[in-house]
Structure 1
């Protein structure tokens, strides 16, 4: 049966044929946790010089420390070897260019139905949000000083990462 995923299944067959990283443990081998954006211009492992198995990576719109991301980092610190956490925002992020109302209006138009009920958590000020998210991790009673935490911005046009907080 043919599906809209056939190209990806075919590509996976080639990937699996050349697969050599069997036996990796579930822990983050390099002790790294990353919260970053879902933006397709970001390759989290490559930008940090890491390899498969080195880090736990959580991605969401705007690189925000959401409840799910926070849960993942708590689990990572206590059960999966995370000793350093990077919150990595990026330049030209779509989550920073429109208001919540503008995004809802665009989605409503695209969906053909009212999306006013759906939160999108746009980022009004990226630097402020990054500092808040880093502070949230640093002050969390289950993370706190158990991991070194930093806030960074990745430049999607140069590939450079800069430390912000």
Structure 2
């Protein structure tokens, strides 16, 4: 498998590229922490466009130390005034145990994956409340930054604010 198709698509993208010289701040003042799931289009789901938001993606859309690092930088250096934490329905890390994910990866890889941690989510609502609290209580996230917790429904495209 090669990257030829993607490089060709990039050349088409670059032919009418209009973000040259962009300042890199979040023009809509938004940061989003969400899952890596390809069913999620973070900008389009909020009516935003390139340059409007800072986006941090990881399995499960969790607020990890790396996500907090990005949010602190966003709040102080990149115009972030609102933060959305957005896990989603039918998420693999919320619907499988760690043992099940290890078994599936082992079967796919053909090598033992029992050592690989997968940070599963037993209760999405509890995890979302915890993650929003992590952001709200972080000493380097100003109190003026609004933080909300949402579940994105991958079957309807709708956000449901839970926190």
Q: Same fold (TM over 0.5)?
A: yes
Which of 46, 50, 58 does residue 44 from structure 2 map onto?
A: 46
Name the CA distance, whole Å, in 2 between partners of 1:135 and 1:71. 15
May I ask how many residue pairs the two structures share in their alignment?
163
Cα offsets for 1:94-153 (capped at 9, x unmatched): 111110111111112221222122111011111111110000000111115141100001
Q: How does 1:135-146 map to 2 (within 5 A)?
A: 135-146=133-144
Instruction: Provide the aligned C-alpha RMSD in A.
Output: 1.1
Which residue matches 1:105? Answer: 103
Which of 127, 131, 149 does residue 133 from structure 1 map onto?
A: 131
TM normalised by structure 2 equals: 0.96
Name the CA distance, whole Å, in 2 between partners of 1:24 and 1:87. 25
* Unaligned ranges ≥5, structure 2: none
Name the CA distance, whole Å, in 1 between partners of 2:133 and 2:117. 23
TM normalised by structure 1 equals: 0.95
* Unaligned ranges ≥5, structure 1: none
SS, match of residue 62 in structure 1: helix
Which residue matches 1:151? Answer: 149
SS, match of residue 19 in structure 2: coil
Runs of 4+ in 1 over 3 A off after TM superposition: none
Cα deviation for residue 159 of structure 1 reads 1.1
Name the CA distance, whole Å, in 1 between partners of 2:130 and 2:114. 26
Which residue matches 1:13? Answer: 11
